A and B are shown apart, each in its own frame.
Chain A
Amino acid sequence: MAIAIMNLSYLAASVLFILGLKGLAKPRTAVRSNRLGALGMLIAVVGTLIGNQIIGPQWIILGIVIGGALGALMAQQVQMTDMPQMVALLNGFGGLASLLVAGAELSHEWQKPDGMLQTALNTGNVPIWVQFMIATAATALIGGVTFTGSVVAFGKLQGIISDPPRLPGQQIINLVLLLAVLGLTGVMLANPAAIWAYWAIVAIASVLGVLLVLGIGGADMPVVIALLNSYSGLAAAATGFVLNNVALIVTGALVGASGVILTMIMCKAMNRSLTNVLFGVWVAKDAGRSADDVYGGKIKSSSPDELALLLDGAQRVVIVPGFGMAVAQAQHAVRELMQLLEARGTQVEFAIHPVAGRMPGHMNVLLAEADIPYEQVKEMDEINPTFEQTDVAIVIGANDVVNSEARTNPNSPIAGMPILDVHLARSVVVVKRSLSPGFAGIPNPLFAADNTLMLFADAKKGMLDLVAAIKEN
């Protein structure tokens, strides 16, 4: 009976998780659907406690109190600009929790003379312990890579770890490590008592996770976070195969699918393959023109007062935020500018490139935080046809995603990458601290275009100065 209740609770949890993700299709239903997911988790936890003979409730309470307090603290304290770091850490903790559970199960099974594993061995039920050992080894591999890879991603996003050059022959090192993992899995299969082999796989996977993420550049972080998100789901699914637990298998599959889809979207938005992001190096970096060639004598530096005059007669303004806006925490100043322009009858919309910021959807969250209604925030495909009818496009701390070289120069490192067509607007204002290149390392002809005015400033200061100038005007 208790087992039946537990299994039913897993069914209920799986259904609620699916409904929870389904509700994210619309911002209006999203808050409620997130609560459905939380309810599903509660049901699964209660069902598990009913279905098992708990002899150490104090350990459960200890873990939940510590973890719950830390989780609540993180969720409450984190700045919206730091959301990529938070998600990176949560990905990593997911991988770590999975490999710890599989490790605990492995040592626990050996303590039970009548347990599933011992029985399978004694009765010669080979498939049972082959499944157990392979699933356990897979959890060690995926969980280990997810954990350390996420920690490195966190360090990079936080600016603690810089981008070192890729080691020569790193792919060979990765391959050797993977072969070692396969060998150790063989050891686990041949000698099920070799618990040390499990932890050896964890150790190797941890090294592999560091190596895989360390060489990936800061601007590729959206892809890496999405991929690690998928891995954390797959680690949970692998643990499900260790424990024969349907709830873990279903949830792990859902999260794994979600991460893979986001990874694909990010790769497409950069016109790069996943292999290229993970192992590739930038090529043809010097194929384009030099910065002096592109910019020489053509840059028009502007002032807030001049821009206020320009915006005075504008009917339609499109704002293009980039990573620079997030770094400078300029989203609230941007909202002020929006309200000021709207009060004068100007139509204001926002254009978001899929890889703007450091994780999928990051810009949307920042604009939402600043109370900018989401209907005014448009995706690339939706807003691109409207730039020709736009009086002023204001680019705030973005660079490569508005570089027309992607369209015009087939030799450019960003050739073929979809961009926001801001250059089609009547006037373009670029708020940027300097002419320094973006991640692609190439000059941007937009900055030197006839219809472009540069406002050299930190995104927040530039916005506040502009707001002040408009108020005075």
Chain B
Amino acid sequence: MENLFIFLTIFVLAIFVGVEIITKVPPTLHTPLMSGSNAISGITLVGALVAAGTASDLVTIVLGVLSIIFATINVVGGFLVTNRMLGMFRRKD
């Protein structure tokens, strides 16, 4: 039970941190912000790794592998496409 409250505290505080830093992102970068946040929300991957890597029954393994696939698409696709976009923003020479 104590754990739950610690987690809830972390969750709420992290929301405040998120609001503070995201409001400082200029509208110019809102599209990379969205693809970049897609990439980090692929953190679900760590849960997927545990599911697929530690299970011995077929159902869990299948679900785990599928979740690894979709989370990895988010991580790899998200970071790469964000990198591609951000590389385009140039200053006037």
Contact = CB atoms under 8 A, between A and B. Distances in A.
Interface stretch (A101-109, A160-168, A387-395, A432-440): A101-109
A372 to B, nearest CB: 9
A235 B26 CA distance: 26
B49 to A, nearest CB: 5
Interface string B47-90: 11111111111011101111111111111111111111111111
Nearest to A257: B18
B37 A258 contact: yes
A72 B80 contact: yes
Interface in B21-39: 21-39
B52 A59 contact: yes
A246 interface: yes
Contact of A90 (B35, B45, B50, B68): B35
B16 to A, nearest CB: 8
Contact of B68 (A60, A111, A226, A375): A60
B70 A248 contact: no
Interface stretch (A12-20, A177-185, A308-316, A420-428): A12-20
B18 A87 contact: no
Query: Interface extent on A, as a size class?
Result: 35 or more
A131 interface: yes
A359 B30 CA distance: 9
Contacts of B45: 41, 44-45, 97
Contacts of B40: 17, 20-21, 37, 40-41, 251, 254-255
Contact of A364 (B22, B27, B73): B27
A59 B47 contact: no
A21 B34 CA distance: 10
A76 B85 CA distance: 11
Interface string A37-52: 1101100110111001
Scoring B22, B35, B46, B53 by chain A CB atoms within 10 A of each residue's CB, the highest score goes to B46
Nearest to A66: B69
B67 to A, nearest CB: 4
Interface in A25-59: 25-28, 30-31, 34-35, 37-38, 40-41, 44-45, 47-49, 52-57, 59
B72 A63 contact: yes
Interface in A230-257: 232-233, 235-237, 239-257
Nearest to A27: B89
A83 B42 CA distance: 18
Nearest to A147: B70
A249 B14 contact: yes
Given A21-B36, A76-B80, A361 B27 contact: yes
Contact of B44 (A74, A98, A127, A376): A98
B46 A45 contact: yes
Contacts of A98: 44, 67
B7 A74 contact: no
A97 B35 contact: no
Nearest to B26: A25
A111 B11 contact: no
A110 to B, nearest CB: 9
Nearest to A13: B43
Nearest to A368: B88
A3 to B, nearest CB: 12
Contact of B43 (A22, A41, A59, A104): A41
9 contacts: A53-B54, A54-B53, A56-B54, A75-B81, A108-B51, A257-B14, A352-B27, A364-B27, A376-B92
Interface of B: 1, 3-4, 7, 10-12, 14-15, 17-19, 21-57, 59-61, 63-93
